[in-house]
A and B are shown apart, each in its own frame.
Chain A
Amino acid sequence: MMRWDPRIEEMPRDELRKMQYKLLKTLVYRLYSFSEFYHDRMKETGVHPDDIRSLDDVTKLPFMFKHDLRDNYPDKLFTASQDERVRYHVSSGTTGKPTVVGYTQKDLDGWTTSLARGLTSIGLGRGDIIQVSYGYGLFTGGLGLHYGAERIGATVLPTSVGNTERQIELMQDLHSTAIACTPSYLLHMGEVAEKMGISIAKDTDLRCSILGAEPWSERMRVRIEEWLGIKAYDIYGTSELSGPMFTECSEQDGVHIWSDLALVEIIDPKTGESLQPGEQGEVTVTMLQKEALPIIRYRIGDISSIDDDVCSCGRTHPRIRRIAGRVDDMLIIRGINVFPSQVEYTLMTIPEVGQHFQIVVDRKGALDDMLVRVELKQEYFSDKLSDLMHIRDRVEARLKNALNVNVNVDLLEPGTLPRFEGKSKKVVDKRSL
């Protein structure tokens, strides 16, 4: 198996941690001295760089949030002067002001390195033709993949987003072997290709895809791999980390977070406490080598867990599991954290009900009341009420088991629940808190 950077990728855990500690310590001293924002933040929290005596002491440091980036728009957080910055990216401000991230040359190198390692780990390299169908421009996706692909010696086809028919023609004519795009765009491409009479599986040289920038599921992976006849790999990143995007390796068993670049923690979004490997919580990242924009314990808002076992590919760097949802989606029912994705996952294992669901939360007296509305599939409809009640009881029992919360279930006629494109609004919270 090829490694881009074997020394780092296979470095024993304790050495990795030592390296992370050194980088963290240096970073904190530097920020305390040169970042007014972070200096003040540390003072408020009552922590001094001297308090960081081990890697675990990272938990003493204050968090950063999206609003910190927004409040300091456009460039108040930068710790590299303008003449040291070589690029900006800007994330769209769907919920307010946009956020600006900046890069020194070293920052860009770290970003490119993370992708060079990732692309190599899924078997890409010299001789491959990588079609980059992420947007180029202020969005980080296109250029990130572009430089990573060039670094490993692959040929880049920078198609960006749109003009799908032309993308498919180029894919055929220039023999793309890999494509990087959002999973929904790839599905769209598959459909357009079929309309053109082209089978991606049979009529192209495509053999893998690098998919991210929006949430997707294992079910979608199976569908893409079977339908299009190509491997589908997850890639994870967010513009606020200014660069590094991380990918799965050929094992397809979680996204490797390169420890020399990023320190990842999973925290309880309510209490801010650190959680153990395997426990689900909010992804929180410290970028260990950033120069232009400090990112310390930045709370991304995505829900996942860390897999701390050494991957069967032999790389020692920890992996994070598929993103289960957003903290904003998290429901607290009688003090217990519930994610709509858990409900979806459980329902997928019950053949009698369809994939569509809706969660309705209300308050009965002093207690939270959670109702899950599901559709009964035609083939499981029985004239006997007792059969139907049995199905409902079984769905209730399975959900209770998965969520640790009592759930009521409503069986609905098929087609009753609203269908959503893209991000679904599957929760109705009627509680007035």
Chain B
Amino acid sequence: MDADKYLMKQISVFSENRPGRLAAIAHALGEEKVNILAFTIAESEGFGVVRALVDQPEKAHKKLSACGFNVAFTDVIAVKMKDEPGGLYRIAKSLGEAGINIEYAYAYSGKQQAVLILRLDNANEAIGVIQKSGGELLESSHAI
């Protein structure tokens, strides 16, 4: 199975840590009718990185770059979780046992399912590990 179809293009945006920056990013995406599926903010002193999964990553990248933002694509994978106690444990355990490190992760719990978005040091290997342990991955071609 081709692992590439499970690699999702997350957009990462450099942002100063001051009021209004998230609004500026969200406004730009809204203008382009790009829908944000999930996002998180990682922050350090003075600056941060806004990370988001969107339905049209190329369009989002283009628009934000044109607005003067520093934007990058980052490969992540999205794993469906059972929205019940122990759901996260099963995925985290299988990765841990395989020696795969999670650089960062965020999750959302939707109407139909819960999804865990993972940035890993070895995504290709992780895809196999997750599938072997019965986990299900979202395909990048599908809107989540």
Contact = CB atoms under 8 A, between A and B. Distances in A.
Task: Name the interface size band of chain B.
Answer: 20 to 34
Nearest to A387: B49
Contact of A389 (B10, B44, B65): B44
Contact of A385 (B49, B69, B70): B49
Contact of A383 (B21, B51, B65, B69): B51
Contacts of A383: 10, 12, 49, 51, 72, 74, 119
Contacts of A411: 14, 16, 46-47
Interface stretch (A237-245, A304-312, A374-382): A374-382
Interface string A352-384: 000000000000000000000000111001111
A388 B47 contact: yes
Contact of A413 (B51, B69, B74, B119): B69
Contacts of B119: 383
Interface in B70-92: 70-72, 74
A415 to B, nearest CB: 4
A410 interface: yes
Interface in A404-419: 410-416
Scoring A384, A389, A416 by chain B CB atoms within 10 A of each residue's CB, the highest score goes to A384
Contacts of B43: 385
Task: Name the interface size band of chain A.
Answer: 10 to 19
Scoring B44, B47, B48, B71 by chain A CB atoms within 10 A of each residue's CB, the highest score goes to B47
Interface string B45-62: 011110100000000000
Contacts of A412: 16, 47
Given A383-B49, A410-B47, A376 B72 contact: no
B134 interface: no
B42 interface: yes
Contact of A378 (B16, B46, B48, B65): B65
A381 B14 contact: yes
A264 to B, nearest CB: 44
Scoring A378, A383, A388, A414 by chain B CB atoms within 10 A of each residue's CB, the highest score goes to A383
Nearest to B70: A381
B68 A414 contact: yes
Scoring A376, A412, A413, A416 by chain B CB atoms within 10 A of each residue's CB, the highest score goes to A413
Given A410-B47, A411-B46, A413-B16, A381 B68 contact: no
A376 B70 contact: yes
Interface in B11-41: 12, 14-16, 21
B97 interface: no
Contacts of B12: 381, 383
Contacts of A413: 14-16, 21, 68-70
Interface of A: 376-378, 381-385, 388-389, 410-416
10 contacts: A376-B70, A378-B71, A381-B12, A381-B71, A383-B72, A385-B48, A388-B14, A388-B44, A412-B47, A413-B68
Given A385-B42, A413-B21, 17 more contacts: A381-B12, A381-B70, A381-B72, A382-B72, A383-B51, A383-B119, A384-B103, A385-B43, A388-B14, A388-B49, A410-B47, A411-B16, A411-B46, A412-B16, A413-B16, A413-B68, A414-B68
